[in-house]
Homo-oligomer: A and B are copies of this chain.
């Protein structure tokens, strides 16, 4: 038991590769994804603040940084589970929660348990910070899938991930930060050099509307 175990465990997130079982040109570890999501959330927070919202920055950074720590326990298994029903997904979430709760009780000293229980619980709630996390997580996933499409990866999964990410982002389009992303960032991304440009623009048009 102890914080040494926690610090050591961060290395597991460096070892876990995202989208296991699917060929990729560029690997991303869960640790790298967490870093990028925190960076993206930080920017989305800037936009919200500039548009007049009040951001609880502690909560925003905390949510973003810790949102995938639990993958340490069962790995990144959501992506390939394409045949899964909602019921199966719920079962997997339960497994994850049980493992996480067990970890906090076993490894984290009692004076820090409240903080880690909060950090390792689901951060994508209905607060502004929870919504920014939902969006930032999908923006990084969109960039990761785009990176593969742009490099010529023939796995159709990446197109599906692109669609699924963008569809989720668009659901939050009442947010100033999402509007900024759709109007200022996404067009630049689509102007990048790659061969499926037209197809991806069409898909994007269809989703963004």
Whether B99 and A84, one on each chain, are in contact in the complex, defined by CB atoms closer than 8 angstroms, is yes
Residues of B with C-beta under 8 A to A151: 23, 152-154
Identify which of B16, B35, B66, B153 contacts A34 (C-beta below 8 A): B35
A31 to B61, CA, bound (A): 16
**Contact between chains at B95 and A91 (CB < 8 Å):** yes
- Residues from chain B with a CB closer than 8 A to the CB of A180 are 3
**Hey, which chain B residues are within 8 Å of A153, CB to CB?**
151
What string of 1s and 0s marks CB contacts (under 8 Å) between A40-74 and chain B?
Answer: 10110010001000000110011001100000111
CB of A21 closer than 8 Å to a CB of B = yes
Residues of B within 8 A of A84 (CB): 95, 98-99
Alpha-carbon separation in the docked complex, A57 to B192 (Å): 36
In the complex, are the beta carbons of B31 and A36 less than 8 A apart?
yes
Q: Is A75 an interface residue (CB 8 A)?
A: yes
Given contacts A75-B20, A83-B103, A91-B95, contact A13 B35 (CB under 8 A): yes
**In the bound complex, CA of A193 to CA of B156 (Å):** 8
- CB-CB contacts below 8 Å: A1-28 with B: 2-8, 10-17, 20-23, 25-26, 28
* Distance between A153 CB and nearest chain B CB, rounded to angstroms: 7
Contact (Cβ within 8 A) B143 A150: no
Distance (whole angstroms) from the CB of A106 to the closest CB of chain B: 7
Q: Lowest 10 A-B CB distances belong to which pairs?
A: A61-B61, A4-B188, A57-B58, A35-B35, A83-B102, A12-B21, A31-B32, A152-B152, A31-B35, A150-B154
Q: Give chain A's interface residues, CB within 8 Å of chain B.
A: 2-8, 10-17, 20-23, 25-26, 28-29, 31-32, 34-36, 38-40, 42-43, 46, 50, 57-58, 61-62, 65-66, 72-77, 80-81, 83-85, 88, 91-92, 94-95, 98-99, 102-103, 106, 109, 111-112, 115, 119, 139, 143, 147, 150-154, 156, 180, 184-185, 188-189, 192-195
Please name 8 further chain A to chain B contacts, defined as beta carbons within 8 Å, in addition to the given A2-B185, A7-B185, sorted by A numbering.
A7-B143, A11-B23, A23-B26, A32-B32, A35-B35, A46-B115, A84-B95, A150-B154
